Copies of this chain bind each other. A is one copy, B any other.
Amino acid sequence: MATVDTKTGQSVDRTVLDSMLRRRMFYTPSFEIYGGVSGLYDYGPPGCALLANMTDLWRKHFVLEEDMLELDCTMLTPEEVFKTSGHVEKFADWMCKDPKTGEIFRADHLVEEVLEARLKGDKEARGQKVEVDEEKEAKKKRKAKASKAVKLDDALVQEYEEVLAQIDNYGGPELEQLIAKYDIRNPTTEGNLLPPVAFNLMFQTSIGPSSNMPGYLRPETAQGQFLNFQKLLEFNQQGMPFASASIGKSFRNEISPRAGLLRVREFLMAEIEHFVDPEGGKKHPRFADVKDVELSLLDRNVQLSGSTDTVQMTVGKAVETGLVDNETLGYFLVRIQSFLLKLGIDQSKLRFRQHMANEMAHYATDCWDAELKTSYGWIECVGCADRSAYDLTVHKNKTGAPLVVRETRPEPLRIEEWQVDIDKKKFGPRFKKDSKSVEAAVEALSQELREKLSLDLDKNGKIEVEVEGIATPTIELDKDLIKIEKRTRVENIREYTPNVIEPSFGIGRILYSMIEHVYWSREGDEARGVLSFPPAIAPTKVLLVPLSTHASFKPLTQDLTSKLRRLGISTRVDDSSASIGKRYARNDELGTPFGITVDFQSVKDSSITLRDRDSTKQVRASEDEILQALKSIVDGDETWEDVRKRLPEFTGQEVE
């Protein structure tokens, strides 16, 4: 199961890590005493503190630093909104039911699993070494039955491989064909399955007492932001560009959730909708500040060629060469990267993968996923898409709300054009009930046609116009009725629908991947796990341990606790009778970066020791000095190394 190295070069043993995370209550299956519900997890105290610290950092990094407008929109959403957005029709996966057992399979996962098992059996039959693709194995919920060693035709092997390479691109009808063609069945019972049907992934409910308002739990926070666009623009005093942001829960009724925290039915998202003028290349005012930052990019053309090689490239060059579509998109890729690094993400396990053309929504201009490498493989944790003007346009068209920007042009726009004047007084009596239709047909004439008709009118004194939907569709108009002239129109206001760049963060996925990145175990003792969270993110910053349960330590620990609290440094006291080594080991697993020990010397002279989680090194100094050092590390002004160098080392009491 081990595929990813920890910071010490050890491989991640996920069974050990998972059991540690549950034991320390980072997370736990929801409703476990009722048998649990797959895809639902509760976060316990350390997980909850991690979430709070991560969202707090996210808010500072994005909302405050970039002056975004934060919204908190409801999760309950009436059906009409998701009809417009396309979710009612398209937000679905395909599932197959086994009519005998009642089991339900996600169709694409099933095809994948069965074909892979056959290819494995083929290799065994050919006496080839079977390389276990651990990433894929790890993602599977069910262990496939021991594959039968059956040799396949070479041509069939190639077909299977081609199918697997594009498994994400098949719709229902294609999956149905594949299932029939390759005789794919329930892997456990060999029973035949019903054809795939679409299963909408939104949770449905009904709002209000009369059951006539169907609603859904939102599958993303974006729609609420789009619907408020007009008010946000006004709040921003009509200034463009600007961004809105939301942190909140979303819901997806996954067919068969698996992979722990990575695919769940209720999850925390943080989404940004950056509204930008589509004209002028979507420049970003702060792009110059980030243009030299290097990113690890996986180009869509590289993927097409079957490779997963990334290139290291500055974002400046990526935008310049057109690999990344525009400055704003590039700017956000850098900001996403710097956020992830602040959390403790290992840069060597971070890449930006460009979506393939057929992977993106039809309206998207470009899309990059920040993927993090974990023992489950490369996991999409942040999406960053240019959604063009799609969302605002569909809601505007549906509701008539002016989801547009209207701005005074710096220079009025002068447009030379052919204008048509009609004599309305004569139109009515002449065309009676058809006059509106005739008028509309004239208004709809293209510039080219108007130019031509103007010449005809000059020449013949009359023209002919085709009018749809009336008794005599060809209408004659003479000079009395109509005039066509080239004139200059001056436009002072420009109206446009902004484009949207959407960075969208799956906080739970980032949290889990980050935990894998900071996890390792003490040399020589695999059972002693350590989570090296950066101090800003750690659930608790300081563990306070009196040397023993001796009563003389109590006033000192109480005093220290309240001082630490006043400094805003979250602290837990462990005054249990366990050995100091055991108490520290427990807190290494909780990722507590620092420990303060109070011993008999402390009672005499108020000196205390400060222990660093990662190195287990200690320094000793006066209470004031230690507290000041802690504050400066937590605030990011100093590192542990700085403190270690300037304060006296202590090698006394830690008993492992």
Residues of A within 8 A of B (CB): 24-25, 28, 30-34, 37-38, 40-45, 47-49, 51-52, 59, 64-65, 67, 69-78, 80-81, 95, 102, 104, 199, 203-210, 213, 215, 217, 224, 227-228, 230-232, 235, 237, 249, 251, 253, 255-256, 265-266, 395, 399, 401, 403, 565, 570, 572, 576
Contact = CB atoms under 8 A, between A and B. Distances in A.
A251 B32 CA distance: 22
Between A48, A65, A81, A399, the greatest number of chain B beta carbons within 10 A of the residue's beta carbon is seen for A48
Q: Is the interface of A mostly helix, strand, loop or mixed?
A: mixed
A74 B266 contact: yes
A72 B43 contact: yes
Contact of A76 (B76, B251, B565): B251
9 contacts: A25-B232, A33-B395, A37-B215, A42-B224, A45-B235, A74-B265, A74-B266, A76-B251, A205-B205
B204 A78 contact: no
Contacts of A31: 77-78, 81, 227
Contact of A224 (B30, B51, B73, B395): B30
Nearest to A215: B37
A84 to B, nearest CB: 8
B33 A227 contact: yes
Contacts of A204: 205-206
Given A81-B31, A209-B255, A572-B67, A74 B224 contact: no
Contacts of A52: 59, 70
Contact of A45 (B49, B69, B207, B224): B69
A642 B140 CA distance: 64
A508 to B, nearest CB: 10
Contacts of A215: 37
A74 B40 contact: yes
Given A31-B77, A65-B565, A70 B42 contact: no
Nearest to A43: B72
B401 A37 contact: no
Contacts of A73: 30, 42-43
Given A31-B78, A249-B249, 12 more contacts: A30-B224, A33-B395, A34-B78, A40-B74, A43-B72, A44-B71, A44-B232, A49-B70, A64-B570, A67-B572, A76-B251, A208-B255
B227 A40 contact: no
A509 to B, nearest CB: 15
Contacts of A251: 76
Nearest to A47: B72
A37 B638 CA distance: 51
A516 to B, nearest CB: 20
A611 to B, nearest CB: 20
Contacts of A217: 205, 217
Contacts of A74: 30, 40-42, 265-266
A48 B73 CA distance: 10
Contact of A69 (B37, B44, B205, B401): B44
Contacts of A102: 210
A194 B356 CA distance: 59
B59 A71 contact: no
B253 A207 contact: yes
Contacts of A570: 64
Contact of A235 (B44, B76, B227): B44
Nearest to A30: B74
A44 B76 CA distance: 17
A33 to B, nearest CB: 4
Given A77-B31, A205-B204, A217-B205, A42 B565 contact: no
A568 to B, nearest CB: 8
